[in-house]
Amino acid sequence: MSIPAATNTQIDDVTTHDTDLMLWMHAGSTYTSGSTSTTLRPNVNANRAAGVSSIFASTSNFIEITGIQLEVGVATPFEHEELSTTLAKCQRYFIDCKSQGSGYGGVAMFRSVYANQAEGYTGFPVEMRATPTVTLFDGSSNTGALTENGAAHNRGCAAGNISKVGFNKATSDGTGTGHFSTSAGAGSALLGTYQAAAEL
């Protein structure tokens, strides 16, 4: 289905809310009392679901969706994209290692010879669209913390030296159960997970 261009309405290339694609299954007269259109036009509630009958009108009604592809310009054949490709595109904006089923997946660092600092490289699965905000979580899911030597949870810290491809430092901030241990000496392990957000 092609929608002709409209001189008085356009889809802007912006980061704010600009366009909706809505599939109506049911709607009241507030949204169905208007008229249908084959061209782009400004949003008017009465026109949003004009011509739509209710999917609940009969028990034999159903809907089947194979795929939706919305693109600017001339429509091209439908792309059957591998899940791994779609996931990689999504991970340019957000990476979640915290929800992978383990409290120790993604971050493994060792306490540096420098006070209150741990070092060890954590690489992102893809290059993100911009330098992200990274949030650390310890083995007990405390936010802004790592677990020291598998037992001392909630060692408050923040990720450092962050780039679009990863980070390689955690700096203790003294929150939670306190700073990284000094008595353990260099080499004390700091473990946990992370989330990285580079959304628009």
Which tens digits make up the pLDDT trace of 133-144?
Answer: 999 999 999 999
**The two structure tokens encoding residue 164:** 């679009």
Does an H or E element contain 86, and which?
helix 83-91
Classify 89 as helix, strand or coil: helix
- Please state, in angstroms and rounded to a whole number, the distance separating the CA atoms of residues 79 and 134: 33
Using CA atoms, how far residue 23 sits from 38, 52, 68, in Å, is: 16, 10, 11
Q: Which residues contact 130 (CB under 8 A, 6 or more apart)?
A: 164, 198
- Please state, in angstroms and rounded to a whole number, the distance separating the CA atoms of residues 65 and 59: 18
Is the pLDDT confidence value at 193 over 90? Answer: yes
- Please state, in angstroms and rounded to a whole number, the distance separating the CA atoms of residues 138 and 15: 33
9 — pLDDT class (breaks 50, 70, 90): low
- pTM for the whole thing? 0.68
Report strand pairing: 145-148 vs 152-160.
Answer: antiparallel
Is residue 123 within 8 A of residue 134, CB to CB? The reply is no
Which domains, ranges and CATH numbers included, belong to the chain?
1-80 (no CATH), 91-197 (2.60.40)
- Please state, in angstroms and rounded to a whole number, the distance separating the CA atoms of residues 118 and 39: 58
